Amino acid sequence: MESAEFIWMDGEYVPWDEAKVHCINHTMHYGGGAFEGIRFYKTAKGPAVFRLKEHMKRLLYSAGVMEMDCGYSVEDWVNMTVELIAKNKIKEGYVRPMIYLGYGKMGINPVGATVNCLNACWGWGSYLGHEAVDVAISKYMRIHPKTTVQDAKITGHYSNSILASLALKESGAHEALFLDYEGNVAEGPGENVFLVKEGVLKTPGPGCILPGLTRDAVMTIARDKGYEVQEETLTKEDFYEADEAFFTGTAAEITPFASLDGRKYGDGKPGPISSELKEAFMKVVKGEDPKYEHYLTYV
């Protein structure tokens, strides 16, 4: 991975190689950290962060679920991120803020543990690395909504995503797709999912997913373009029989499916509606569509 010059840690800029934590920290052992993944893009007016405020709202929401009070407001996190990107002089990349339980208390109950914060950025290109990806339904079920608080972005949730990613070697697919506890399609390990059928877009509704900010933006952009977008229960058969399907997420942006469980979509190349939405989305994030300027925070 790429690195940067500085990482922000608890109010100070620390050189990348010196940004260390004690190995007996609570979050590393039990997975109770809150974090975000945010992208910033090169635009004609300098780097622009996509949906920065909304990401920081979700960060504080997730921290609140874990009862971690970090002492910084959404505005503080927004301003700190802008400063961090400027200080590192990176034009395009990824931001990773985290609120975590630090050193000084062991045992699962975190009451009394220290709350620490960090914010890092670095250059990061394509996440899934292909124009269209082969997808396989995972043998693992998406975490049950009563197992945790599903719409919080908590580090421990990602053991589910890691296992699904490790199991990809069994199918040879590029990415996994989770079913929920009722056997309906939920989401990917780090992405939401849409299908296109006869010109209508459909995506699983909230309940068993992390309702992504990219998903939300794509629904808005698609509706503004005149597409009907439905949030509904979708089975794997709905996906097998769809005309197109694609992932959305900060890291994945819009990544069309080439196939699902070996069943190809068309000729395996990105379908027309996926391509149209991807092109429109990339214009938005690069500041080339004035209608969606409100999604961007300039550095």
Residue numbers at the binding site for ligand PLP (CB under 6 A):
37, 187, 190-192, 210, 212-215, 248-250
Active-site choice (53, 57, 153, 286): 153
In the bound state with ligand PLP, the residue whose beta carbon lies nearer, of 102 and 297, is 297
In the bound state with ligand PLP, the residue whose beta carbon lies nearer, of 180 and 191, is 191
Who contacts 176 (Cβ-Cβ below 8 Å, separation ≥6)?
A: 135, 136, 137, 138, 140, 164, 165, 167, 168, 188, 189
Distance between CA atoms of residues 185 and 171, nearest Å: 18
Q: How far is the CB of 161 from ligand PLP (least distance, A)?
A: 6
Q: How far is the CB of 251 from ligand PLP (least distance, A)?
A: 7
Report the residue closest to ligand PLP, judged by CB.
Answer: 212
| Cβ atoms 199, 273 nearer than 8 A | yes
Tokens found for residue 256: 């069309």
In the bound state with ligand PLP, the residue whose beta carbon lies nearer, of 37 and 266, is 37
In the bound state with ligand PLP, the residue whose beta carbon lies nearer, of 144 and 264, is 144
Q: How far is the CB of 269 from ligand PLP (least distance, A)?
A: 24
At residue 97, what is the residue type? Answer: P
Q: Is 153 a catalytic residue?
A: yes
Q: How far is the CB of 18 from ligand PLP (least distance, A)?
A: 28
Q: Which residues are annotated as catalytic?
A: 153
